[in-house]
Chains A and B, each alone.
Chain A
């Protein structure tokens, strides 16, 4: 039984290897069964593990081996006093995240089988997708910081791979780069934190079986040293620890850990990669940038709650960053035009909420919001994907409108998601968001009212922009001509047939010419089909042939080309499931306190650090009522304003927008990209060019190396002249040697003591 949990990780690994090595050979159909299959199988095993191992366990915490039939003491690194084991930690937090990752991940996998069905590189997509699931599971299940870091970096890598999936477009490749690089900046913090943790605690394991020697165990046992250097740790540490540079050890550790979370969970200042990450396919955005990877930071904060509650300075920092991020994300989301961008900034904003919750000590509320957010954000992203798919690739909301009647099911689930995220009473978002606001109000580290007000304003904006999204996409008058939709589907190497896109309408035109002109072009992976949607052999028959989804093929299964159409069942069913969860999950888990009780063994109470909640401002239902009012006001405001502008779908004219400085500020993402460009690319580039390259590299290093060579050359040119070829000169040299020799001998002889 103890060997079962390792399957949770090994199954996606198997899926990854299968898709990587055999995916192209077995074809997209089998891949589309294997990839979601392994994830859902992992989900089942996670449930079994939860019920069979974690719940029966006395303190709901078990450490099991990483590899089946090995011991949890199997060492990964064992160097002197430094030891890291291959083990998994099963406790409520890790099981919760495992269920989210595999469950919602599985649903998104199913969705992706439909979304990516006609992409010629579908096997590669699912390879990366499975790899991501595996890495995320390592992150949440790892028994120590180093394993968590493996998963941390792994999901960053997979994020890069998946964002720049359609890499032949330079923008996508750049977006992937940006995501990975900014993430890595945060990872520095995490790595330094690990070093600090090891030097303070002597171990990297979270918990140990004997409850004595894990990092969190030690922090628990020495509780009360809030803000004071941990100088009185047991003698197992050889080096006495006075903190770092005069700062208390725990504060430094927590701040460094949070820097890692800043990168991963898109907080200020490292959030800039998330909007660009929308360049990836929509399932990627749903899974990675809504439900799982970005929540890794919050998970890490919760896992280290035992450390954080004893470092109130760090907690204040965390809370402030969180609330500011929430506010900023919402303001930018108000003015975006790309449907996925709105959701991206919404994610930034919601992540800010989660981090705020952690910052004020209510880690349970943060995790609750993680859970509900996973449901409704995935729902929203997948729904947006369905919209985009229906619109044949169009993502700009200004070109949408009037879709409510055309894709009614999509509209329905999107509406549920919108109301959930806005915090409409009794939906899941309502419970989790209000929990956070309540926690902010009871902040044990001060600023309670400030956090609360800002959080409330952000909630208002959230409701507003989400309903704005709904209105612009579905309810306003259509701003496109149905039947003449240009095909903007992405795939790699799609510039071969992209130029066919504009001139396809409802007419079935000369199909043969289309087929031929595409076939004669060089395309390594694609052979464009004609109207016949079955694979046909080509001269290069060893290349697997997929049908390319031209608009006329669209005609085959979805109705006439260029029309808006509802999405495939494989895409809609996950949406229904997620919609259901968004409706009831919050209600089932929140007010019944099931979630709180469940997560209790994994989370440290703020009393551990000697903190206590602020004075209660509102009595019990008042907070909820205020939140409900704010949500309804936000939704209603959007409804009111946009219903007056049905025709244009915009509140202001374009010209008015251009003249509005606040609009510009929000639209330009508060100038972060400009500042970063100026500093890192502008200034950094200038330094790299003028100083590092021209001076140091060209003059110093090349100068030294070349100069060395030139010096040798010069010396040898001089020395070469000794070898004249004339015997007389050589005789002279011999004489010179003789003179020196004789003189030397005589000198020694003369000075010899007698």
Chain B
């Protein structure tokens, strides 16, 4: 029989120094933390890892406490619980014998983990005589406990939740970062980020949660290789991500840095939590960080300070920072993704609406007992949320671009931005209407129709014939096929166009729209400098508004991406020209 005897010079001399029977193969180990071993779980895990890595034992003997000074700290029970709850050491079901002068009922009364002593496979003796001890061991069953007996142990034992994990420091932080890093992401040829999870994985409470949750689902390397998620988030290259989370140093900064580096994005971490102990001071400093980064996506935890513990909705640090990020006076189109582990956060969908966040991602916790597929989905949701925020961040750039121009308060442009922020197909028609409205409002500058045939630049001596400018050839879908404009008409050209099926535009009252379009086109071409292709594009856009969106009630075929391109090419050019003309004056 292989026996492990653990002690700290607090067992009878004979137990440690005299020969046991020949058939009892004894290994004796001292468990003695130094004064600097403040984390007992880490210390114990480290010691037992060493002991169990080299040998398997049939029986483990230990005192109730390893303290030479204080017998009622009962660290022996703590050690026994570690042995039961650490599958990696392969001794979870081995019999454990406590030796000491204490009566079991005394221990149970004095120590909340004492109920462990009533669980299967746990024995005790008060003898201080080696022959009696050896005789007693011979009568013990040294069989491993069964699965159902192990469940009985789990139901009986009470493991205290550390204070840090009782409030917003959910155990989910360490758990989720470890799960994603080690189990879910397929790092391929890359080196897996090194997450310092020792203090977490050594924690007895963590081990207990894992065991309670029906044991952490083992994920093989093969599964990860075949089904694991790509660490790269496509389509965010060049984007800026800002990360605000007081738990950033629990491994998140390392993991997220690697993910965003892979994705070609710039990653900024707020890391001045320790310098700003006061909550108000912290919020002010984070707000400065937010403004200094001008990120495409702000990844934001909600409870960032201990004092958030008892704060009501809206008063929590994360809420206040989100309100600053979305402050209309600065830029309401900045994108926030809530990234929280808190089990005390209220309904997240409601949170997203209140904050105006793009999306939310909950860090999974061991209590939730996610399957590997759930975890994989969780990570993919995270990638999707970040991508969505980055995709929408162009609207923030638009608002920045408008800032300080005469268009800053432009009703149609602000309308368009607010609608586009909703990111819903239902608002696309309204977006088309608003951008058209902006062009109508602004692209008639400097020109007047004189006789229906000529456009005249105000305060100038020249005239241009515009008749062809608005002569459009349409196909059955009513799209503009070509536009021949911006130059004086020649007879040859006119003939050619007639032969191609062009119609002359009429300038009677029933054709006001065409006349107006002529004015707009002239303005776009002569004043804003658009080329023929872009003028045609604007006309197409106008047609879409007239023929489909405004009057026929059908959904536009334009996508947000089309509208973005239109804004980038057309609207920004109009605004730039205005900006430069203002600068010149």
Instruction: Please indicate whether A and B come from the same complex rather than being unrelated chains.
Output: no
Binding site for A on B (CB under 8 A): none
